[in-house]
A = this chain, B = another copy of it.
Amino acid sequence: MSDHLLSQLAGEAARLAQLGFMACTAGNVSVLLEHQPLVAAMSPSGVDKGQLKPADFIRIGADAKPLPPDTRKPSDEALLHVRIYQATGCQAVCHGHLPHTTALSLAGGQELVSREVEMQKAFAGTTTHEGARHIPIVENSQDMEELARFVIAARQPAVPAVIVRGHGVYAWGNSIREAGRHLETVEWLARILWLCRVGGITQPQAHARQQS
């Protein structure tokens, strides 16, 4: 089962790389292999995420260190992945550097708000475009324990993703494909927000119905 999962994880990383979310060897992905004690498979540090093979993933424990005898270096952000597994009970985590999301995060504020957009339904559990989805933004930090605290504290029940200012997005899900889809969804919604902002368009504040 583990081989199948690692193969799927490599495929999803390649798909996200193809979307431009893993530029400059950035970005990382992981999948939970065992829950108690925690074992996850994590992408390696500093390589092109579009070319990963199952054997490239590194098994890490709850301390985010490689399980002996493996001594390879997982992504620097492995500890943040572990904390997300512990806090959310999810099965997979994807992180990418998303251009529209990153640019909008630099405008300040503690969230991006998408309103009345059908694609909000791509977040698992959202069943209507009506209303708003608030995607939290936290400050960036090179201290992974600190960044993990920011992310855990900021997360919203209806949104399986947190934006890190000037950096990118952490998204999670109940499967590898769902975690990847949630990452893609944040950038899609942020792109619409940016296209609207630059076009002088305000997203609707309330649900307006057409006469039928």
How many angstroms from the CA of A106 to the CA of B202 in the assembled complex? Answer: 7
Give the CA-CA distance A168 to B23 in the complex, in Å: 19
A198 to B139, CA, bound (A): 23
Question: What range describes how many residues of A lie at the interface?
Answer: 35 or more
Q: Is A116 in the interface zone, CB < 8 Å from B?
A: yes
**Cβ of B24 and Cβ of A119 under 8 Å apart?**
yes
For A192, the chain B residues whose CB sits under 8 A away are 99, 102-103, 106
Q: A139-B210, A194-B195, A199-B104 are in contact. Are A118 and B166 (CB under 8 A)?
A: yes
Identify A122's interface contact among B25, B99, B138, B196, CB under 8 A. B25
- Copies of this chain held together in the complex: 4
Least distance between A165 CB and chain B CB atoms (Å) = 8
The contact string, 1 if C-beta is below 8 Å from chain B, for chain A 155-196, is 000000000111110000000010001001100100110111
C-alpha gap A146/B153 in the complex (Å):
40
Interface check A36, CB cutoff 8 A: no
A144 at the interface (CB under 8 A from B): no
Selected A-B contacts with CB under 8 Å, 20 pairs: A24-B184, A26-B118, A97-B188, A99-B188, A99-B192, A102-B117, A104-B201, A106-B201, A106-B202, A106-B203, A116-B165, A116-B166, A128-B142, A129-B140, A139-B208, A139-B210, A141-B209, A150-B210, A166-B204, A197-B199
What residues make up the interface of A, taking CB atoms closer than 8 Å to B? 23-26, 48, 97, 99-100, 102-104, 106-107, 116-119, 122, 127-130, 138-142, 146, 149-150, 153, 164-168, 177, 181, 184-185, 188, 191-192, 194-204, 208-210, 212
